[in-house]
Structure 1
């Protein structure tokens, strides 16, 4: 077993910037909001980047209760959950079953929408990149519950800490509605602290203004 590496927020942010995963600027989101930053975890598409993300997920999961199975929603969540299972085994000596879903049910072979470890009567942690509106997470939770799973919680890479449909953030809405914990590796506040440390006053000013307008 390899010794675990403690997840470092600044190192992850710098890696995300170097890969174009995280960008500061002006970006129009699906919601119509103009955001001063954009985060696309799908660009963590090399071994070093995916390994660092997976170590972060694995470290966080070792602090959580009831980790029977970890689950990655299609499609982005699939490599994340697979890499996290490897990191749990390699760095923590814990072998955790993992699975994922298909976007469309398979009508031959084993069939169905679920692939990998059985989730029936298991406490499942869902691993994904972000929760924007919460729609995708609600769909996955429904699929898992229909398969007999108990949802232990959700783990994401980034918490944008901004309002969803009401006064709560999308993550807070999911926590309240589904009555499950949602944890994140980094938050918008972490990004602002990073900009402050680096002395990027303009980007920080833009983030602060966005937080005032849409933050929770």
Structure 2
């Protein structure tokens, strides 16, 4: 049984086309700055789910070393069909980049990356970004000789400064892969886009942090409860204003 089927996915419920854009949009329509009122019904469902299960507020230190009032983490829950919708949104972006290979950044993004790869019927490779060998190279698990010269698209759950994505790109390029696109669920809008552009990588995101928080501020559950408090909204916006799109 496939990952998609174990997750409760039904191909009749989630339509996907490998070559034709589902909604007619182009790559230029996908950046981190679309306005909240443009969210589709599925995207609105996703935002509510992300705030319920994937976004935590408090005092955290990110992988980049920065302190943040919130973190984003995708739990591996194969029983939750909402993750299929999330994988579908990511796959729509991924499909437009014409990938030959998907490279999820270990380990938080592996599950969604596996779902995307299965839907697109393309292989995955994993750059072990914390395991530099004696020659200064990063091991790339699953990479085969015939992948040299092919386009690898990097997938991560979130981008802050772009450091992890740049490391993964370096490992893939050292093996001969072409890397010009990275896709994330959330662009935290703290400099990753600009830093990656300097490295020849275009960052595409399902959601930008600011638009996501702006939408969530006024959203409520079916029980009428707000999904984001004023206190957490203000903390997130202060953080965004402090680091907004400033490369480090």
Is the TM-score greater than 0.5? yes
TM-superposition CA deviations, 1:25-50 (whole Å, max 9, x none): 33232466553322112x24334243
Residue matched to 2:36: none
Query: Does the aligned pair in 2 maintain the 1:71–1:124 contact within 8 Å?
Result: yes
2:230 to 197, 201, 205: 201
2:55 alignment partner, one of 6, 11, 22? 22
Give distance in 2, aligned partners of 1:33 and 1:114: 29
Number of the residue aligned with 1:156: 184
Deviations 1:70-110 (A, max 9, x none): 1223323332221102233xxxxxx323322346599xxxx
1:1-216 matched pairs, under 5 angstroms: 2=12, 3-4=14-15, 8-19=42-53, 21-23=54-56, 25-30=57-62, 33-41=66-74, 43-48=75-80, 49-62=82-95, 64-88=96-120, 95-102=121-128, 104=131, 113-115=140-142, 118-162=146-190, 169-176=191-198, 178-198=199-219, 200-216=229-245
Q: Is the 8 Å Cα contact of residues 104 and 113 (structure 1) preserved in structure 2?
A: no
Q: How many angstroms does 1:131 deviate by? A: 2.2
Distance 2:47 2:71 in 1: 12
TM-score (norm 2): 0.67
Normalized per residue, the structure richer in strand is 1
Cα distance, 1:136 vs. partner? 1.9
Alignment partner of 1:74: what SS?
coil
Write the distance in 2 (CA, Å) between the matches of 1:101 and 1:33.
23
Aligned length: 194
The gaps in structure 1 that reach 5 residues or longer are: 89-94, 107-111, 163-168
Q: Structure 2 unaligned runs (5+)? A: 1-10, 17-21, 23-39, 134-138, 220-225
The structure-2 alpha-carbon separation of the partners of 1:12 and 1:32, relative to structure 1 and needing over 3 Å to count, comes to same
| Structure 1 length-normalised TM | 0.75
Q: Which of the two has greater helix per residue?
A: 1
